[in-house]
Chains A and B, each alone.
Chain A
Amino acid sequence: GESVGLHLPTLSVQEGDNSIINCAYSNSASDYFIWYKQESGKGPQFIIDIRSNMDKRQGQRVTVLLNKTVKHLSLQIAATQPGDSAVYFCAEYDAGKSTFGDGTTLTVKP
């Protein structure tokens, strides 16, 4: 069936560097995508979203890029901080429900 996938299960970066987390999706009918951040033992929290009619959206220190041609989504975190250490999920929305990828664990080294 349709699924959302992440390219790397883990990512380790140095504090202050930029992080790029990737996600591949296969449901061409999905028209909305969200990135969530999940800290240990907690529920996921919304970070940023993007609609399928856009290719880039920026927030505070985060940018989401959408390439519909190759069905690829990425989350860029600028000047990564220790508090950014968490698991990051992309989710695609279609027909009233969200489908999540497997997640990328981001570790920030001091």
Chain B
Amino acid sequence: DGGITQSPKYLFRKEGQNVTLSCEQNLNHDAMYWYRQDPGQGLRLIYYSQIVNDFQKGDIAEGYSVSREKKESFPLTVTSAQKNPTAFYLCASSIRGREKLFFGSGTQLSVL
């Protein structure tokens, strides 16, 4: 089945540690996105990529980094510079230039 796979489902980070969230899609979509969701709030855009080897900062990029070396993969690293990383992280993809987003099932990140 085609879709977006996020892993792990739950992740715990220690103080000062970098962690990487995985996002893989087999929909052959060019564009991929990372959103952060806090309880009772909407989704805020962290980073997005319209094509391989290119990505842009979203509204809340500070403390995060991404790479887009392959079309299928768009990993997100939460760095130690992100002081409040506890949130639900959602990866999405779309056909480039098309507005409809397809989401993964999310990763819940918590701080130990």
Chain A's nearest CB lies how many Å from the CB of B33?
7
Query: With a CB–CB cut-off of 8 A, which chain B residues contact A44?
Result: 43, 90, 101, 103
Total of A-B residue pairs, C-beta within 8 Å: 57
- Please tell me if the beta carbons of B92 and A43 are within 8 angstroms of each other in the complex: yes
Interface size class of A (residues with CB under 8 A): 20 to 34
Closest to B103 in A: A43
- Please tell me if the beta carbons of A43 and B105 are within 8 angstroms of each other in the complex: yes
Chain A's nearest CB lies how many Å from the CB of B86?
16
Query: With a CB–CB cut-off of 8 A, which chain A residues contact B61?
Result: none
Query: With a CB–CB cut-off of 8 A, which chain B residues contact A97?
Result: 33, 45, 48, 58
Measured CB to CB, the residues of B under 8 A from A are 4, 31, 33, 35, 40-45, 48, 50, 58-59, 90, 92, 97, 99-106
Q: Could you write out 29 A-B pairs with CB less than 8 Å apart?
A: A4-B42, A34-B99, A34-B100, A36-B101, A41-B105, A43-B4, A43-B90, A43-B103, A43-B106, A44-B43, A44-B90, A45-B103, A46-B101, A49-B99, A49-B100, A89-B42, A96-B48, A97-B45, A97-B48, A98-B33, A98-B45, A98-B99, A99-B45, A100-B35, A100-B44, A101-B42, A102-B40, A102-B42, A103-B42
